[in-house]
């Protein structure tokens, strides 16, 4: 990370795990992970987040460098200006003032952001987006989202809701989506959708998205059909992003990106077929993996600290 003075702590809050990092002088020096256990309810999850922040602060103090600021990245609909988690369904949070609660608890300035946009910031400065003024970070995992980086800045939209690629309808009348629509990208192309659709087609209750990919490669017809439909649905969404934003590149992250070059090649071919009138932007794999959100939150905290706090 770019060297800066001082130490910050940062948390990436997910539906399954909370990932934390201590960054000292721009360099990650400690990392940790804790179970979220979202089934306990929204208040218990917030209490856990605050305890995790306490843990990171103690780790920094033991190194002789107490933190100057903290960063927290959360999923869902986020109002970064007010520091509010508007709706994080996987955490049970609705209109929760996360930043003010964290600042009160920690007695530190707290930078607050969206997990995918934080990941895009990290990829922009530290990863696959380095030196690129215009790209879109697209993590493909349990869900699907996108974070455009335009002119070197992460774009959040007028209300902070930009980038909901997973809820772009590409198959009208298709499977129901948690957003209330039908046939969204996420209902076909996410890891959870791939596994679910294969299980429904075959009755194999234990199949994962990785199993589906491997079986598709080996010639399993139901797996091949589900996998191809997933690639095509995501390509439809990426084509829409390309036509609207004209990015220099598309940075693909999340669990499915671990499928490697074959996945990116299939996706790139499908994308090019949908853009016969112009070159398709190159697809590149994200470089920071599961660390992107926490490192992005640390960058937000560093920016806040460098600006003198709130």
Q: Is the pLDDT of residue 117 over 70?
A: yes
> pLDDT higher for 78 or 233?
233
CA 275/CA 270 separation, integer angstroms: 9
Any idea which of 74-78, 95-99, 238-242, 256-260 has the lowest mean pLDDT? 256-260
Half-sphere exposure of 174 (CA within 13 A, CB side): 20
As a whole number, mean pLDDT of residues 157-173 equals: 91
Mean pLDDT estimate for the chain? 92
CA distance 119 to 303: 15
* 3-state helix/strand/coil string of 9-50: EEEEECCCEEEEEEEECCEEEEEEEEECCHHHCHHHHHHHHH
Across the beta sheet with 93-96, the strand order is 77-79, 84-88, 93-96
Mean pLDDT along residues 61-78: 93
Residue with tokens 């335009």: 150
* pLDDT band of 232, cuts 50, 70, 90: very high
Lowest mean pLDDT among 6-10, 42-46, 52-56, 89-93: 89-93
What is the rounded distance in angstroms from the CA atom of residue 258 to the CA atom of residue 286? Answer: 9
* Angle, vertex CA 290, rays to CA 307 and CA 71, nearest 5: 25
Assess whether pLDDT exceeds 90 at residue 125: yes
The yes-or-no verdict on residue 5 having pLDDT over 60 is no
Among 295, 300, 306, 301, which residue's Cα sits nearest to residue 126? 295
Residue 141 banded pLDDT, cuts 50, 70, 90: confident
Return d(Cα 288, Cα 258) in angstroms, integer: 12
134 has pLDDT over 90: yes
Mean pLDDT of the region 69-78: 93
Per-residue model confidence (pLDDT) at position 256: 77
Residue 286 has pLDDT above 90, yes or no: yes
Domains along the chain with CATH numbers: 7-120+290-306 (3.30.420.40), 131-287 (3.30.420.40)
Assign 3 a pLDDT band (cuts: 50, 70, 90).
very low
């Amino acid at each position: 990370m770019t060297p800066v003075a001082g130490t910050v702590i940062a948390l990436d809050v997910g539906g399954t795990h909370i990932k934390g990092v201590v960054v000292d002088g721009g360099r990650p020096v400690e990392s940790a992970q804790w179970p979220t256990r979202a089934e306990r309810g929204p208040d218990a999850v917030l209490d856990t987040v605050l305890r995790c922040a306490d843990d990171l602060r103690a780790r920094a103090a033991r190194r002789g460098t107490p933190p100057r600021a903290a960063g927290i990245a959360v999923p869902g609909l986020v109002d970064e200006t007010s520091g509010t988690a508007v709706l994080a369904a996987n955490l049970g949070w609705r209109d929760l003032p996360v930043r003010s609660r964290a600042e009160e608890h920690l007695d530190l300035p707290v930078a607050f952001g969206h997990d995918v946009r934080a990941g895009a910031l990290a990829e922009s400065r530290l990863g696959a987006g380095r030196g690129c003024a215009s790209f879109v970070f697209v993590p493909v995992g349990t869900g699907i989202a996108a974070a455009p980086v335009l002119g070197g800045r992460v774009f959040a939209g007028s209300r902070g809701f930009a980038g909901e690629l997973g809820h772009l309808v590409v198959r009208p009348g298709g499977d129901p989506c948690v957003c209330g629509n039908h046939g969204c990208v996420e209902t076909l192309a996410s890891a959870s959708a791939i596994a679910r659709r294969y299980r429904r087609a075959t009755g194999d209750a234990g199949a994962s998205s990785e199993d589906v990919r491997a079986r598709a490669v080996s010639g399993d017809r139901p797996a091949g059909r589900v996998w191809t439909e997933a690639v095509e649905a995501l390509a439809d969404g990426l084509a829409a992003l390309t036509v609207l934003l004209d990015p220099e590149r598309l940075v693909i992250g999340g669990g499915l990106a671990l499928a490697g070059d074959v996945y990116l090649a299939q996706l790139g071919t499908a994308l090019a077929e949908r853009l016969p009138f112009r070159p398709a932007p190159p697809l590149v794999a994200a470089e920071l993996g599961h660390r992107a959100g926490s490192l992005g939150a640390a960058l937000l905290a560093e920016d806040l600290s460098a600006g003198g706090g709130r």
